Structure 1
């Protein structure tokens, strides 16, 4: 361990130059002051922002590559089951099933559109628009709920 020597006169002269005794002692001891650490704090924020941005990109990728195709498959299954039910049920029951299925398909379609619009807005903003993230999550959750309810 190195021994550090300094004279009181050197400390006093430095204190008058800088105007702060604490700053002088910190300089003599080689300690960084808190005001000089502001850049590392901003570096942590950059890391946090990068992590959030990566999570948003993953969410966007999941919505486009996984959720929307699953919703499309579910819509096709609904249409196929409706076509098959026409030969099984009476015309009145088929009409009721048609209306229910049509409402469900329109709801799925509106949430797919919401996901696509939110994803497009996120891409335009560089994955930093918080309102688009919330909108994307809302539409994804609703779409997942519809698909998983089967």
Structure 2
């Protein structure tokens, strides 16, 4: 009877090769990805969904708690400038300053309401989708329902930032 000897180096090498092969195959077939946090398996859909949810949360937080207060302060300063225009400028110039200020104020008002509406609707859609169990269906529904609100919200935020600069 022959004796087979295994060295620990050979066993460790085969173990590492098997792990690498498993990662390559899972990457090719998009099956399961290993999570570093607590060793639990997490699907590609779950990681992408979590990234989108974090993006939605940070976008809403930035819009409501940072951008809207800045817009309110700017809008108030425009109102003050428009009201003081008649005491500083000639009537024709004051009318021009007043009309320009009103145009910008109305533009800001439209973007503020667009931000508030889309943030509210995006949160509602997000809450509804969190009730679903199937991650693949949740990711697809997230893309179809939440993503359009997110895109519109980003548009209004960019337009408002351009006005505030």
TM-score, with structure 1 as normaliser? 0.71
- Structure 1 stretches of at least 4 aligned residues deviating more than 6 Å after TM superposition: none
Partner of 2:73: 73
Q: What count of residue pairs does the alignment treat as equivalent?
A: 119
Q: Secondary structure at the match of 1:126?
A: helix
Shift, 1:83, TM fit:
2.1
Partner of 2:53: 53
Distance 2:103 2:53 in 1: 35
Partner of 2:94: 94
Bigger radius of gyration among the two = 1
Shift, 1:91, TM fit:
1.2
Distance 2:114 2:125 in 1: 16
Match of 1:139 among 132, 141, 156: 156
Instruction: List runs of 5+ in structure 1 lacking aligned partners.
Output: 3-30
Instruction: List runs of 5+ in structure 2 lacking aligned partners.
Output: 1-5, 8-20, 34-41, 128-141
Distance 1:99 1:87 in 2: 15
Shift, 1:39, TM fit:
5.0
Q: Secondary structure at the match of 2:43?
A: helix
CA RMSD of aligned residues (A): 2.4
Decide which moves more: 51-60 or 108-117.
51-60
Question: Once the two structures are superposed, what CA deviation does each residue of 1:22-66 show, in whole Å capped at 9, x if it has no partner?
Answer: xxxxxxxxx98x69x865156122012101210111011100000
